[in-house]
Structure 1
Amino acid sequence: MIAETVCSAVAAAGLGIAAVTAYRRRFLTAARIAAYSLIPLGLVMTGVVEWAADTAFSPTAWAGFGVLGGAWALFATTRAVERRRGGSRKERRAAARSAESGAVAPTASAPSLGQGSRPASRPATAPRATASDDFSDIEAILKKHGI
C-alpha cells in the first residue's frame, strides 16, 4: 500500500514539473518529463508494484532465490571440475575407444625407405660470424642514425 502511494506521489510531482516546464515554453522537455512521470503510475495500475513488494518481503521468494543460486553454484562447480579433468567421463571413454581402433594394422612395421627416396644430405651450414662482425653491423646502424 505504501509503495503504491509513493509511486502515485512521484507521478503527480512529475506531472507538476512537466506543467511548469510547458509554461516556460519548453514543450519537448515537458513532454519527456510527463512521459517519465507516468511510468510509476502505470506500474501501480498494472499491479507490478504490488507483485514486486510482495516478492521482496516474502521469505519463500528469498528461499527460492537461494535454491536457484545453489543450483547455479553446482553447475559452475561441476563445469570447472570437468574442464580441469579434461572432459566428461563419456568423452574420455569415446576418445580412448577411437585411439584403440585408430590403427589399421598395429603389428605392421614402419615402411622402409629405399636408397633413391632418401633425402639429399644437407650442406654444411655457414660458419657463424664472430662477435666483432655482429657489433660492426650494430655500429653501422648507430652511425647511420647519428648516435
Structure 2
Amino acid sequence: MIAETVCSAVSAAGLGIAAVSAYRKRFLTAARLAAYSLVPVGLVLTGVVGWAADTAFSLKAWVGFGVLGAAWLIFLGTRAVERRRGGTRKERKAAKADRREAVAPTASAPSLGEGARPAAARPAAKPKAAAPAEDFSDIEAILKKHGI
C-alpha cells in the first residue's frame, strides 16, 4: 500500500514538472519527463513486487503494461524527433560555433603578412637567399591595408 502511494506521488510530481516544461515551450523535454514519470505508475500497476502472486493474468497488470508501452512509445518518439532535428541543443550549439569559426579562419592573414598565418596553412618553406626587399614585406602589407 505504501509503495503504491509513493509511486503515485512520484508520478504526479513528474507530470507536474512535465506540465511546467510544456508551459515553457520545451515540448520534447516535457514529453520525455512525462514518459519517465509514467514508469512508476506502470510498475505499480504491473505488480512487479507481487508478480508471483497471480498478477500475470490480472487486468491491472495488462493496463500497467499498456501504460509502460505508452511511456516507451513517447520516449522513442521524442528521440526520433530529436535525431531529425539534428541532435541535442548542446550538439547544435557546438556545430554552430564550428561553422562560425570555419567561415574565414585566415581572413586577416594577408593584411598581417606571412608571420600571422598558422603553421598548418603555410606552404613548405623553400630556402631562399635573404633579399633586402623581404624585410619590408610586413610594412608593405600594412601600408596596403590602410590604402597608402
Same fold per TM (> 0.5)?
A: no
Task: Please report the TM-score for the alignment, with normalisation by the length of structure 2.
Answer: 0.33
TM normalised by structure 1 equals 0.33
